[in-house]
Amino acid sequence: MRKFISNKTILFALGILFVIALWFILSLCFDVNGGIFPSPIATFGKFGELLTDPYSYACLGFTFLRMVIGFLISFVLALVVGIIAGNHQQVYDFLKPLMTVIKSLPTVALVFLFIVLAAPRDAPIFVVVIVCFPILYEAVAGGIRKVDKQLIYSARLDGANYFKRVLFIKLPLSIPYIIVGVASSFSLSFKLEIMAEVLTGYTRNGLGSVIHYVQQADPTNLVDVFAYSLFAIIFMLLLSLLEQIIKQKISNKDN
């Protein structure tokens, strides 16, 4: 096991070095004045400055807050609709085409749609709600539908009414599926929030907003764009790592 972990760690480290080396080679091939395609050296130098700048963390916090707002709205909607659909096959079948359409909608199109329908500052929140909703809905409805029907039948014979069967049997047993759905969509929602902020061009604090601003301020120098993007990527990697840990624990628990 130790050997496996050691080899896995070494390969992961080598993969990071390969990405940095490839990045450096591409910067040499395509960079013109040191800013169009910044090298890792220039990017990490600027990134070090961002780590000591309180404004970077303010932008991160503002983006994270709006992402959480959108995610919570999506989760509450998915929980309500998912419980109903999971308990009623007719509702589940009725909503299936709608979920398919929502999943198929291009995210960029959603951003521009909500810019028109709502204020640019609120568009990223709505994008997170719409994109995450089908994932969370399937987690809730799917988890409820996978509960052993024999167990539900036994509870009915014992006198448990509909609401008791849902609240005290089906919903608790579907929690592992819901947790996996939350973990899968949470890191995705952060990426969606940043992308929507970049596209809306809203000038208030936010990682996506500041990336848009520094790119517009000097299109010939993308060092700041790369550095802020690296800042966002590292945070997303941390969220993805948390997602993997949660999924692993759920998997080990099931086994």
pLDDT tens per residue across span 50-97: 999 999 999 999 999 999 999 999 999 999 999 999 999 999 999 999
- Asked if residue 143 lies in contact with residue 176, where contact means CB atoms within 8 angstroms, the answer is yes
Closest alpha carbon to 55 in 239, 223, 209: 209
Is 179 found in the same domain as 82?
yes
> pLDDT value at position 35?
64
Is 123 found in the same domain as 17?
no
Is 116 found in the same domain as 233?
yes
Is 138 found in the same domain as 25?
no
Residue 171 lies in a domain: yes
Number of domains in the chain: 2
Mean predicted confidence (pLDDT) in 157-172: 81
Mean predicted confidence (pLDDT) in 99-127: 82
Mean predicted confidence (pLDDT) in 196-214: 81
Residues 151/157/160/165 CA torsion (nearest 10 deg): 30
For residue 1, the enclosing domain spans 1-30
Model confidence band, residue 144 (pLDDT cutoffs 50, 70, 90): very high
Is 9 found in the same domain as 83?
no
Residue 131 lies in a domain: yes
| Residues 6+ positions from 194 with CB-CB distance below 8 Å | 63, 206, 207, 208, 211, 232
Residue 17 lies in a domain: yes
> pLDDT value at position 52?
92
Helix (H) or strand (E) holding 25: helix 2-30
Is 117 found in the same domain as 6?
no
Per the model's pLDDT, the better-predicted residue between 42 and 12 turns out to be: 42
Residue 36 lies in a domain: no
- Portion of the chain with pLDDT greater than 70, in percent: 93
- Asked if residue 85 lies in contact with residue 91, where contact means CB atoms within 8 angstroms, the answer is yes
> pLDDT value at position 1?
46
Q: How far apart are CA 54 and CA 117, in angstroms?
A: 33
Residue 61 lies in a domain: yes
- Asked if residue 121 lies in contact with residue 183, where contact means CB atoms within 8 angstroms, the answer is no
Closest alpha carbon to 127 in 139, 115, 141: 115
pLDDT tens per residue across span 33-47: 666 788 888 889 999
> Residue 52 burial (CB < 10 Å; 0-12/13-18/19+)?
exposed
